[in-house]
Structure 1
Amino acid sequence: MHSPVFAKDTYFGYSVAGYKVDSDSWILVGAPLTERERFHGQLTRSREGAVYRCRINTPNSCFMLPFDKKDWSEVRDHYGIYYSENKTDQLLGSTLLVNDDIIMACAPNYKYVTRMLGQDEFRYEPTGTCFTLRDKMRKFEEHSPCRNSLWGHHRQGYCQAGFSAAISKNDSSLFITGPGAWYWQGMEIRHKYPSRSGEGKNDDSYRGYALDIAHFDNDIYEDMVVSSPRANNCKGYIEIFSSNFRLLHKIDGDQIGAYFGSSLIAVDLNNDFATDIVVGSPMFKKDTENYDIGRVDVFIRDKKSNGFVYKRVTLYGLKSRSRFGSAICKLGDINDDGFNAIAAPYDGEDSSGIKRIRDESESEITWLLIKKDHVYSIEMIIKGSDYGLKTFGFSLSGGLDLDGNEYPDLIVGAYKSNSVAYIRTKSVIKTIIITQTNPRVIDFDSEENYCDTNRTQFCVQFEYCVEYFEIAMKLELDIDKFQNKSLIRALFNETKSYNLIRNYTFKSEARTCFSQVVTIKNFQAIYYNSLMRLIVPYSLVRLCCTIS
């Protein structure tokens, strides 16, 4: 758990990401309300935001990354000198992402200052800006596509570039959205390849509110899926664009104000090599009494079809104001079954009976697993309230193995508590259990295996062997368990019962064998016309995951 003392009221945990280069692993955390010291004639403190890197094994060991180290820029014109930018409340770190060695952080509320023509007045416009660190955090660059001469809300003055962003895995190109451009029609920009803006009929659509990149057509270049949550008469829609900004497909929302596309990810969930889409609608309501419960729509693409045909699977939040779908992230293959999983937060049911708004809620994380067009919920829920955290799950980052055990981990932000939780995925146990009896064939006419001279009880030795890969587990052996208790036919000699429980710690990738003797009694021929079963269920001694 990371909750540094210096991070009070900084929204530490508003955004999170994992970073791994060579043998070093870090948790990156955005804190967009962090104050910075600046010199403007005198030393002042300005709330500009920051990004921290934290060690995964040492709580509260966080260090500020060198984003935006320079002072505010000055410009001289024929009227005099003025600051050409204003970084107060720019929200640096509200957008944070990583791709291999590239770290990208954005300040969508960064203000570009220009003097109005012929007047001693200034325009303060939230053009937004982004920064990258490359080459093991040694190379710093700024990217501000809307900081140009196209001032005004009717052009790119209110762009808020960096509200959402992505980094190409192919060529490290940057994808930056500006949902406030062109009367809030919105726009998306591939670095050095500007897009066209939205059409005039789509004012106030907020195109670019959320963004992800993946392969949707048959070329080698990455395409993008972009949301417009206020388009379509405020029902929202998502659009899939090719790498050259050609519209490939559109999926409409179906409820006014649900904010369809507030969050989204593109990922192959069922291993058919076709990209699926997961879309969050946190303001979705079922009726007037169950509002803002939230919804997550999973669109499974049918690869057999020639076009964009999707099977829609819908998941709902549990109660009002839970806003399920506010954040969604790719977990990767967390249980080694070959399928990707996703995580989504929600405010689950509890016994308090108190309805809380999201900012004050004690949220939970649940795991969602998609296999062959079906949605499964893994039986583990992590409650932020168990750790005293509010807004637990507002930000998520997964899919990266930080501790080196070959399984992806999860990072969860709780900005109202100025905290971040690092959830390690423990190794998955693969077991092979083999049982065999001695003698292999039970012959009741033979006298070799009778336990007593009166020939009333027959003894059989059986051996059970376990092969597994890592960790300790509990074995529970049951012989003839489902037989009527008054007619039990077999008992373990050790416990004089049909049940035997043992805890064992096994060596990895080695077969370990044990033997037990079972006594079979009252073996009249008519009594054994049904199968006698030996059952060896097993379970872990420890939980699969921990918060650290």
Structure 2
Amino acid sequence: HPMPVVLPLLLLHFCSSFNLDTEQRVVFSGPPGSYFGYSVEFYGNSCFSFSVLVGAPKANTSQPHVTEGGAIYVCPWNKSNCRIIDFDKQGDRYFYINDELTQVEFKSHQWFGATLRSHGNNILACAPRYYWRTEHDIPFADVTGTCYLSVDSLRSFVEYAPCRTERHGPAGQGYCQGGFSADFTKDGRVVLGGPGSFYWQGQLISATSEEIVKAYYPSYFLLFVSGQKQTGQVQSSYDDSYLGEEMGSYFGYTVALEELGKVYVYLQKGPLRLEPSGTNPVGSQAFSRFGTSLAPLGDLNQDGFNDIAVGCPFGGEDQQGQVFIYNGYEEGLEDTPTQILSGQWASSSFPAGFGFALRSNKDVDQNGYPDLLVGAFGVDRAIQLDNVKLNKKESTRRTLFLDSHQPSLVKNVSLETNGDGVCYESKLFLLNEGGFRDKLSPIYISLNFSLDPQAPVDEHGLRPILGYHTEPLIQQQAHIQLDCGEDNICVPDLKLAVYGDKTIAYLGDENSLTLIFNAVNEGEGGAYEAELYVLLPPDADYSGIARNNEKTHLTCFHVYEAQNDTRHLMCDLGNPMKSGSSIWAGLRFTIPRLKDTYKVVQFELQIQSKNANNSESEVVVYKLEVAALADVLLQGVSLPDKVLFPPPNWRMSQGLREEQDVGPELQHVFELVNIGPSVISQSTLEVRCPLSAQGQGLLYPVELVTQGPLTCSSQHTFNALKLKGTTQLKSSKEHRIQRRDVHPLVENGNLTCSTVECWTLQCTVGQLGRGDSVILSVRSRLWAETFIEVRFMGRQVQREGQRVVAVVLWNKQDSLYFVPVWIIILSVLAGLLLLSLLIYLLYKVIHLLNICQLFLIKNLFKLK
């Protein structure tokens, strides 16, 4: 009697559960009611320069007279503090229209930050509800939308408003809402969606970042971008098409009548050839907006197919929002999600909106798996799920059944009662070597058989049973044949040498460090899954690979262990790292946040493999001594740098009442700058200036002004005579100065503290960080009674021979000196006498000429 027997053949493997780690999340919060989290984006190129950009379209900024204009916040990925980015500080602009100053643009409630995208160092943020008043004398305004672009890591910004054109109103681009959706292409080209153009036909507009920057001119309101491409207006049958609308498209609305939401998946079978997949996930809750946002996650479960996150911002309990994680397979997406993330915040005024915005496909912490940003604008939050959590040891399927291409196979067979055995064969195939890493662990195969409970009974109404001693489970194992000799056992001999380009790390410095390592396998077999592990110090950041030649192919990523709060850098050295191989490569680090409590910074490096024998190298420790080093820049200036002696129109006063009665003002300004890298504290700054020479005053100190952590004292009192402040001098005919002979007080013409009496300022400088400075200003007066035709030099503490110099020049204008009245009268009389003499002589000369003329005429008549 035939007995149907079910033989499930199961290929055992160490399966892994790959889930988004909700316990290691980072939550960023924004101002209440700002819709913080309406849009989210990753920003940065390396794991330690990564930040999170968050749009808050109802936030208030410092723009004058703008209410809820919207804002973009930047949040360091491993911290929860965020700061606003000033894309636009200008506020609304006003132009003269018909000789009347008119507001031409309106940025209040423009929803800036509703759309946010990044591409490398380029950031694009848009305000789709921005509107402006046209130049026509009509009362309506055009909702054109506008965007701002930064191409230099958020240091400068240009406006891009391609719908703000001469084509006004609904028939043109007046209701464009440019920037309702936006993105960058792979090569960095900007693409904007404007769903309201041409009676809501919609349009797409595109230009390169370079073209946008080149066309921008802040004084021009309407800008033409050369090279811009855009779709045009077509026949009226395409009205209300909303080309360029991304959210709420209602495609397939008749399929989901209760607004469950649905995601349509199309598989690309070739260039521009898309075919619908067999599975299209549908939401399970009415009005939950399933599919509002999508984010590619890469291959989470390492099965060779990409996975996806689907936002459902009003789903779940209390409509707080959910995010569904779907794994991909060769036919599209799995029917059911592998993980559901739920919002954990409630809001009395509005649902949390958890999942309204999603961004992923960036590995922030470089642990080899992409991270996910989730926006929850209803509670003004953005959540970053830090990494992918592996619940068990990582492995992957290495062998599949040829018949099913699956790790399990079920066959129905029939056995006769006579006890004769039947032989069946099922072939397995090993995946390509690049499809898995584990080549050492055995491949376990199990056979489990049981009687078919659905089989009919025999003629006696009886069912067959298995023998009491029958083992229903049989297990075997197979090994991958390695290049390790007859015993198939590889015994590597791993050695590691490490060299660094510096041995000291300075407090406050970036401390760029390159570690060159040489990894060698001198054993008799290959080292499988060989990896270089680098235990990072708490303040060290990995910044990249320094390859010594083009033949070195090294990949490294971070591994974070939350239990002991340690970070490793893991670099793949080969699978296997063959016997006799020698790998040279460099790893670049920075150590920017050193604390003065450290004495050394220590890196630990080791090669580890999965071999059963001799699997590790010795641990190599590389240490850097922690030291403080600060260079200071000491500079100064004299105001003015040249002084005339005595000053023009200066008159000697009978008594000293005001500052100008002393003499011309002279100010010395000194600046001490810490150019780093370390912090300095309790430093001493000494300023010395000439006070008097040979009993004659040179400088009268008036005032000391300091800025920064600076405390000064002097043995000399400032403004000891308590003179009043400077007032404008009045000319006077009295108290004229008589010129004196000039006797230099110093032979070489320089007044320094080695030749004359000086007064000294002793200043204590407090703590100065890198780039910080203190400023000291000494205001004084030159004593005008001391006429010294020499160079005057005020001196600070000498550093590299630098001094602050003021040159005093003798004023030799004769008009300044008194001339007696009798000299003036005598000079006038002498002038008049000289003039009379000249007139008399001229008269005599004319008379003589007349006589000569008469004589000549008389003689001429005689000749005739």
TM beyond 0.5: yes
Give, in whole Å, the separation in 2 of the partners of 1:343 and 1:402: 17
Between the aligned partners of 1:2 and 1:310, the Cα distance in structure 2 is: 37
Q: Residue 292 of structure 1 aligns with which residue?
A: 259
Separation in 2, partners of 1:299, 1:194: 26
- Equivalent position amino acid for 2:288 in 1: S
Shift of 1:333: 2.5
Partner of 1:363: 321
Cα deviation for residue 397 of structure 1 reads 0.5
1:318 aligned to which of 284, 289, 292: 284
CA contact (8 A) 1:284 1:295 kept: no
**Aligned match of 2:394 in 430, 436, 439?**
430
In structure 1, the gaps of 5 or more residues are 211-226, 230-258, 261-280, 435-467, 470-478, 484-524, 536-541, 544-548
Q: Which has the higher strand share?
A: 1
Instruction: Decide whether aligned partners of structure 1 residues 111 and 417 sit closer, same or farther in structure 2, where only a CA change above 3 A counts.
Output: same
SS of the equivalent of 1:367 reads strand
Does 1:195 find its partner at 2:231? Answer: yes
Indicate the residue corresponding to 1:395 in structure 2.
357
* Local SS of the residue matching 1:106: strand
Q: Tell me, yes or no, if structure 1 residue 28 matches structure 2 residue 69.
A: no
Aligned to 1:18: 42
Q: Distance in 2 between matches of 1:82 and 1:194?
A: 31
The 5 Å alignment of 1:334-413 reads 334-346=300-312, 361-376=319-334, 377-385=336-344, 390-413=352-375
Contact 1:75–1:81 under 8 Å retained in 2: yes
SS at match of 2:344: helix
- One-letter identity of the residue aligned with 2:90: K
Amino acid at match of 1:66: D
Could you tell me how far apart the structure 1 residues matched to 2:387 and 2:71 are?
28
Q: Partners in 1 of 2:203 and 2:369 — Cα distance? A: 37
* CA distance 1:480–1:89, shift in 2 (3 Å): same
Mark the CA change 1:163 to 1:312 in structure 2 (over 3 Å): closer, same or farther: farther
> RMSD of aligned C-alpha atoms?
3.5
SS of residue in 1 equivalent to 2:328:
strand
Aligned CA distance change for structure 1 residues 529 and 17 (closer, same or farther; 3 Å): closer
Picking from 36, 45, 52, the partner of 2:73 is 52
Contact 1:299 1:312 in 2 (8 A): no
- 2: distance between equivalents of 1:82 and 1:349? 46
The corresponding residue for 2:148 is 131
Local SS of the residue matching 1:47:
coil
Letter paired with 1:49 = G
Q: Give 1:154 shift.
A: 0.8
- In the alignment, which residue of structure 2 is the partner of 1:38? 63
**Which amino acid in the other structure matches residue 47 of structure 1?**
E
Sort the Cα spacing of 1:529 and 1:136 in 2 relative to 1 into closer, same or farther, 3 A: closer
Inter-partner Cα distance in structure 1 for 2:174 and 2:396: 63
Q: Is 1:70 aligned with 2:98?
A: no
CA change 1:433–1:527 in 2 (3 A) is: farther
- Preserved CA contact (<8 Å) 2:105 2:132: yes
Match of 1:2 among 14, 27, 30: 27
* Whole-angstrom CA distance in 1 between matches of 2:128 and 2:256: 33
Q: Deviations over 1:196-240 (max 9, x none)?
A: 234321111111102xxxxxxxxxxxxxxxx994xxxxxxxxxxx
Separation of aligned partners in 2, 1:378 and 1:323: 16
Find the partner of 1:82 among 102, 106, 121.
Answer: 102
1:173 matched residue in structure 2: 189
Report the more deviating stretch, 68-77 or 367-376: 68-77
Map of 1:527 onto structure 2: 469
Q: CA deviation at 1:21?
A: 2.8
Which residue does 2:794 correspond to in 1? none
Contact 2:313 2:356 in 1 (8 A): no
Correspondence for 2:179: 162
What amino acid does structure 1 have at the position aligned with 2:333?
Answer: V
Match of 2:242 in 1: 206
Conserved in 1, the CA contact under 8 Å of 2:448 and 2:472? no
Partners of 1:396 and 1:201 lie apart in 2 by 34
Partner of 1:213: none
- Partners of 1:185 and 1:432 lie apart in 2 by 49
The CA deviation at 1:195 is 2.1
Letter in 2 for 1:411: L
Partner Cα distance (1:186, 1:480) in 2 = 61
Partner Cα distance (1:186, 1:347) in 2: 26
Give distance in 2, aligned partners of 1:371 and 1:62.
39
Distance 1:322 1:89 in 2: 26
Q: For the Cα contact (< 8 Å) 2:51–2:77, is it kept in 1?
A: yes
CA displacement 1:385-439 (0-9 Å, x = unmatched): 37888211011111111112121100001111111111122265423899xxxxx
Structure 1 position 182, deviation (Å):
0.5
Larger radius of gyration between Structure 1 and Structure 2: 2
Q: Which amino acid aligns with 1:322?
A: S
Change (3 A) 1:348 1:129: closer
In structure 2, C-alpha distance between the alignment counterparts of 1:188 and 1:528, rounded to whole Å: 71
Instruction: Choose 176-185 or 106-115, whichever is displaced more.
Output: 106-115
Runs of 5+ unmatched residues, structure 2: 1-25, 208-227, 399-435, 438-445, 451-466, 478-560, 563-864
SS in 1 for 2:280: strand
1:152 aligns with 2:162: no
Are the equivalent residues in 1 in contact too, given 2:326–2:339 (CA < 8 A)? no
**Are residues 527 and 364 of structure 1, via their aligned partners in 2, closer, same or farther at CA, if it must alter by over 3 Å?**
same
Paired with 1:534 and 1:412, the residues of 2 have a C-alpha distance of 46
| 1:153, distance to aligned residue in structure 2 (A) | 0.8
Q: How does 1:250-329 map to 2 (within 5 A)?
A: 259-260=250-251, 286=256, 291-303=258-270, 307-329=273-295
Q: Give 2:218's aligned residue.
A: none
C-alpha distance 333-344 of structure 1, shift in aligned 2 (>3 A) = same
**Separation of aligned partners in 2, 1:106 and 1:382:** 29
Letter of the 2:200 counterpart: W
- Aligned equivalents of 2:175, 2:382: Cα separation in 1: 31
- 1:138–1:37 CA distance, 2 compared to 1 (3 A): closer
C-alpha distance in 2 between matches for 1:296 and 1:527: 54
Letter in 1 for 2:300: I
Who is 1:489 aligned against? none
**Which TM-score applies when normalising by structure 2?**
0.39
| Alignment coverage as a number of residue pairs | 369
The code of the aligned residue for 2:320 comes to: E
The reply on whether 1:102 has 2:61 as its aligned counterpart is no
Are 1:207 and 1:228, in contact at CA under 8 Å, matched by a contact in 2? no
- Describe the shift of the 1:387–1:54 C-alpha distance in structure 2 as closer, same or farther (beyond 3 A): farther
CA contact (8 A) 2:40 2:53 kept: yes
Q: Is the 8 A contact 1:208 1:228 kept in 2?
A: no
TM-score (norm 1): 0.61
